[in-house]
Structure 1
Amino acid sequence: MLHPVIHVVNQMRLEVKYLLYTLCLIVTTGFAGAQPAAQTKWPYWHTSMVHTAWYKRDGAPTVNFQMTQDDRGMLWFAATDGVYRFDGVRFERLSAIDGNKLKSNNTNGILAVGSALWVGYNFGGVSVFDQGKVRYYGKEEGLPEHTVYQIRRSRSGVMWLSTADGLYRLERERWRRVGLEAGLPPAEYKARFEPLDDGTIVVANSAGVYRSTRDGRQFHQIAISDKYEVMQIRADGVVLLADHAAQLFRYSVDSEQITPIILPDIKLPGSARFDGRGALWVNAEGKLNLLGPDMRVQRSFTSPENLSGNITYDFFTDRESNVWIATENGIDRIRESRLNVIDLYPKIFGWISVQADLSGVTWVSSYSATHSWSGNTYGLRPDGSWIEGLAHNVSASTRAADGSIWFGSAESLWRLQNGQWQSWPLAADLRGHDVQAIAMDAQARLWVSVQGKGVFVFHDGQWQAGGGIKSLSGRPAISIYADKDLVWFGYPANHMALLDGATLREYGPTDGLEIGNVTAMARHRSGLFVGGDQGMAVFDGNRFATMLDGEGQSLGGISSLLSTRGNELWFHGADGIVRIGDAELTSSALGKHRINPEYFNYLDGHTGKPAQMRPLAELSEAADGRLWYATSGSVGWIDPNHIVRNTLPPVSQVTGLRTDHQNYPAVPGLVLPKHTTNIELDFTAAALSIPERVRFRFRLVGLDKDWRDAGSRRAAFYTNLDPGNYHFEVMAANEDGVWSSTPGSLDFRVEPAFMQTVWFKLLCVALALSLIALWYWWRMTLMTRRVAERLGERLRERERIARTLHDSFLQSVQALMMQFDLIRYSLSATDPAQKKIEHALDSAGQVLEEGREQVLALRLNHELSGDLESALSGLGQILAPRHQSRFTLRMHGTPRPLRAMAAAEAYAIAREAMLNAFRHAQSDEVIVELRHTARQFTLQVSDRGRGMSAEIRERGHRPGHWGLTGMRERAQDAGGTLEVHSEEGRGTRITLRLPERRAYARKEADKLAATDQ
């Protein structure tokens, strides 16, 4: 009698549990609601996946109902405390979008359509935010005051809403309820719907499943829901169903066929959904299970170990194929890793090494330094099955050129060749000491380094200390590498040895080796590369050169080096696996010594650490090109030829601007107040797979000459900004170095204060010019006064000298002549002294005449004042009558004011020439010509007298007289040239030529220069 009761109770428990899962799914989202149309075809998941969880402490939303992704790649979440935005690094809870506030922070539905973001509220209404503007739809636009569950857009561009009151369609900015008139009956629960790829709409409610026509105006029933609950509607027309016994079914809208989904590993499935790869995820027994193509569990995620919560509210696949899960505690991301980690055989643990043979089997060995247990060696076949090998507690291994694999331990050596095992015990005195390193040289001799004992050669079953090289025996090497006919030995503290035949050469720090303990070596076509715990170096045949990465950092912690058949260099280091391309290696060998390696670390699924004290074989290249690696607790592989790359360029964007006093949204036409000098610009780019490797560069156009490298920093700072218009740009590169196709930008303006305006600057310029003009006027007035004073002083000095000469010297000479004349009259006419006195009186008369001329010159010179014509005319009018001659002054061209210095020198030259002409030429006429042209000024004094003798022309002056010499010197000082032309009996012509820039006056300051002469 108890069996029926137990059966009923169990059935009730099953239905209650299923109902809880289904109600949770129905009330929160209809998890497929945010799924984008599956247009991108991604490969099925492999077993290696990276999981990351964000909790409330990380800023993530909890109890998030729906998520969406905008055209920039940003994730948006609708939660009960607002809208959240996520770029892969930080969550931002927003109560306003682009400066426009939400109608309520209690949100439920959300959808990104192009540049617009649609947000539905739990208490009714929808807001549409688009490029800084907002549009609200509420009761006046036909929407009920009920919860908005889903927002969708059909292929024809029509917007649809699922609310607690039914399904609504937007027509001409007004919402219309879709009801019986359209063939859609009312339902007990909210409608769950999805636009299909063919343009139709599929709606599921408690009455059944309905499909619309292409215009979306009429619906017809395609399935009845009395037996099934709809769990997901996909855009390709596949509907995921569950019956009351929790059995899953796949229903095709087009064929109307229901196919059961058999789950071999799951007895009681809860909620289920397909992701963007077509994989099925099922909640069952407290786990979120990923099913493989065979519907068996491929990977399970549990809470709290690797899932943030127990309840799945929403499930979303982004455009990079990552799966996002919203739980009651936070947000989870599951993505595929680049390193493929395998499930280890249960007996494999400890320090692990790998060697891949030519048959496709990868041999995994475990090692313990304590020897408390003996880890065996197991081979992983290509089909995933394991086989057991003979080697145990392997501390070193190598693959020889013939394809054989050698293993070494503290007790034995093993060789695996063509599937056959063979072993040899260590020499008696070596047993109990781990084999540190082994390598097979070109003569098929196995070089073995034994801890604490030294280096030995094992060949044909015989052991030879040091291989016959005394300095190698008793000296253990950390690493050994056979390089064709050469054998390299690595030692601690930057030391190596090279065996070439019977010659051993030592290398150390003096040879450029600075990598610490030498742990690994590999030959590339560009040189021998050597790795250590403190760096990596390349050997060019003579010296070692240390290798650095692009940021100038050393490449340390290297435990294994491998040169692949693709001419790449891979090494296993403390932080993961590193790939260096052939082009980088070639350029480094040419002297660059800086490389840009590609890292595969914890972000790519790398776990554990490689051995450092004993460099095990932790990298091996298989026959199919895959690279196998091992760490302290994992084994995996990567295929260098088939690494999945993210070719999707990130869309960079500016998210905000901060000043010292206020935060501003990044909206077009942003205007900052006056006195703003310091700003911070926040930017981001949604590369959601590995956001930790996203790199940025930015510039403020007009201020930055080139792009600035920001690294992973997502902010730019500027200080001491001037007022004006600015254009800020930012670019981003994803984890694979794909840069944004166009920069994100923000235009903003800093308002100027009055003192920073153009009008203020013009006013300052005008004031400055006025002050300069005032100062110039004052200076010129002062200079003019000084010039007048100096001219007055000179005038008075000349007049005083002239008066002194006239009143004293000339009068004294005149008196002296009168005394001599009285003496002459007192002598008889025949007195011999008579002629001497007459001669002396003639000479005194000449002296008196010259004195009068000098006095005249002094009195005339003050009248010059730049008017050369008047001065020369006055002088000529005085001299001509005295010497019974005529004087003529001729003018040519338009007279122009002369520089004071030029006028003074020209006057002095002309006066000397005129005096010579009147006194000595015995000419009946002296002619002075002044010629003013645009290029030069010419002064010419000519006569028709007796001319100069050949002796005077040859010497350039009359013996005892320096008049001609003085004229030439004055001409040179004035910047001109003097020409003297004379012929005996035909007169003399003296010509002064001054260039325009030295002759003509330009500024009043020339007067001051003239007074200083």
Structure 2
Amino acid sequence: MAFPPDKRFITALIVLLFILSSSLIGESLYFEKRDFSNLTIPSVSCIAQDNRGYIWVGTPGGLLRYDSRKPILINKKNFPVLPSDQILSLGFVIDTEELWIGTSGGMVRYSLQTNKMERVQLRYRTSEKISSAVVSIAVRDSKRVFAVSGNSIVRYNGDDNMEEIPVDPAISGRNIDVYEVAFDADGNLWATASDGLKRWDENISRFKHAQTLENAFSLDAIGNNLWIGLGAGEGLIRYRSESGIIEFFEVPGDTTAVASDPDGLIWVGTENDGIYIINPGSGNITSCDYDPEHPYKLPSKRIESLFPGRNGRLWIGTADTGLISVDNNKSNHLSYIRRSGTNGLPSGSFQAIFEDSLGYIWVGSNLGGVARIDPITGSVHQYRNNPMDQFSIMSDHISGIVEDDTGRLWIGTDKGPALYLPEVDGFEPAGNMISGWPDFRGQKVIALVRGLDGSIWISFMNGSLYRLNLQEREYKVYNFPSSTVPAVLFIDEKGTLWAGSGKNLRLFNSKGELIRTWQATGIENGGIQQGGITEIFSDSRGQIWLGGPSGLSMFKGFNKGIELVAVPSLPLINVSGISEDDGGFIWVADGRQIHIFNPDTEYITTMGSEAGFTPSGFVSDLFITRSGTMYVGANNEIWNYNSFVISPRSITPEVYLEELSIMNKVIASGYSLDGMGSKTLNSDEKVFSISFEAVDYRYLGTIDFQYQMQGVSDLWVDNGSNDSVTFANLSPGNYLFSVRAVNNLGDISRKEASISLKVERSYWQRTPALIMYIIVAGVLMVLFLQFWKGHLMKAQITELEEARKKIIVANKKLAFLTMNDSLTGLLNRRGFDKGISHALGTAQRNSLMITMFMMDVDFFKLYNDNYGHVRGDDVLRGMGKALSLVFGRSTDIIARYGGEEFAVVFVGENPNASVTLANDLGLAIEELGIPHEFSSVSPLLTLSVGSVTIKAEEVESVESFIQRADEALYAAKEGGRNRVCYTGIIPELPLLMKNGLKPLVLTGG
């Protein structure tokens, strides 16, 4: 089923805003594998953080204190009191600054204040428990330290001992094993055991049985919610400790750890299935992308521990790739901006942006020197020319930055090339590097680049082009007229040097030999674009892109030449930067805007002020880092944001199963079909149909569908725009039906909608097995009676879960019905009251104006009495469609206020917007062309409108605001109907003279 254009647009806009505001979980995450210098840490079992900011990591080879400068390993060699190097659990006590360490051989506590470690004795109530491994620790303060050891719970008694405390089983007399302990936000202590959940009772000093659960194993407390992982891959339970309510989440695999991020999302680590992220509000579950080869995706599926560190960073311990961290606070929006004069950022136009091998971002300006940005902490360090400092950079005018094979930075300035020296955090002239080399000081550098062989190419203003071979310690110089000196240098994947100037484009092979020259005579004349080349870039496919004052072009090959890229509805762009995002889209800066080019479809999206990109000056460069963060250099400012969020390929059509029909009878639809997962068809059900729908959140063109029926064929079948498919007479067996959507740009749904189908054999085919079934059924009945109690408990949990799902569906339907008018599809009075409060709050926070239209269909009672209520309902539905077309913004509040009365609220900065919208509304009503011969003002149906516009901060109350609109509506009716009456801030008089509803100004407002 396809959406009508108006509903589809509104739906797409709402969902797109939701996606951008809640961040694309799967795409915008940035996983970083942590380096431990010369230490080999393949497995991490537990993680903690102390009050000084250090991360403590438990491993099979000892305890690691991690920071980015100098990781320190603690083991039995430097602390002999440590019972074992195999660290299993950690807990930190803030008030005493003590780290409690659980090992495979016992418990110790380590004081950060004294740097001393002391052994803690474990005392059990019976001598049978010989295991001293401490697998879980729960710490509230120095007096409340609990641990799990020997399948029991022990408590610190304040005398360097931990004594076992009793735990009540669900059934008296049974022996149980305890797995993990944790404190909730209110200080209540909980534990998971082999027969369920336990709660500590301080009054009787024992754990009491709280909830019977099968296979309860891992335990993590987040706020007052207990997250309990079930063994045997049975999923995850949220237990609300205040109410005892249980919710089940179908997380694949065995849960090992649970943590919460700053956005309130729940991260779930599993034993062999990676990480899943749960939205507790919607119940949606998303898996993190796993790719061991990708530098910034999840490299392991074997998760041992999760720890929410400070500043939004989540620490992940794995069983095979060590420690990983992910920063949930990385900016995803264009509003994140760094301006000159703040945090050490230099002034001027940023003409050079570069990411070094350590991940630092270096930016150079034409006035303020060079700065180094730490993308994790956001700190900025600026380097400027200082004649009193021998290691300062020689000039504040920066033209380029590259890194050689030894990790040294080469920085081009108008006083010559400079080398950055990390050991002194300063610079020296590049000519000092090798004895006998030219002294480049005083020579203005135009451009520089590093070759594939490690050589450095430098272009100087005086017309010289140098190739510095650092390995062989030799150089070669090329001299050109100053008018054709290369202003941009680029090395492609074959090692070819592309040297562009305002007059020509030269190519040098990897040996430094000139092999081709194009003149700037125009592409139509066999040359390059007029005005020359200022930007050169090679994308992931090896395509060479050339940019200059006359636009963007592609090098198609020596035989095919150069082809100009057309930008629809725009003049030739002045290219000032080119880069590529992780989705293969080409980003082009043209001074004031950014254009995103899809090489597959040759479709271009322009991103300017309407997308929040409002640079204060000329955009001089753009650069996308390995992590997907884009840095845009402009006049006196640097913009940075995550390109994954903006990239068109990050938002693809979503497809859903809509309806399943068997023998022309609807079996399931909507929510019930989404949750079905599988369906069995008997031998008489020979014909069935599946319908589906799709929403494209970015493009509103035609959506086609492709489907696959595994079991029949593995090929994808093109179904065109048809939103259903029918199958007949399938052979008995198992099938998997999948469908995906394709938009008009060729973007395919990331996730298909699927359902498993099983077609049973005919009765006569199953008859020979019937006797065996009876025998097996008898045996199963005996077994069923033996395990009746256990199965009864499981049935109760299933019944509870089914009831919960029905309540969720009912609540969703009820919420829609209570907020929307069933006749027009608009908001009802209750929805309007909620919407106007939200709109007023938004306008007041942003110091905007707010406008209300109160509208009434003229002589509607006469229409109803003479034409009938059926046609009267058609009029109201037509009014709803007309209002939806005129007021199309997601922030506009449109409602049926009551009977034939409608209301609209919108916010903005322009008081004249009310005139434009009122005129558009009048024309929309006129285009409906609904006859009304009983009206005294027009042979067609008309409308009276009361409009009030006022500064939001001047609104005394919602009621008074509505009353003013009502008074204006009354005045419009008294003034003769078929008109709009303005009050409050009156629009400009010339605008009131335009065609549309007759204007009327209510004075005294």
Q: Tell me if both proteins adopt one fold, taking TM over 0.5 as the criterion.
A: no
Q: Which has the bigger relative contact order, CA under 8 A and spacing at least 6? A: 1
* Higher-Rg member (1/2): 1
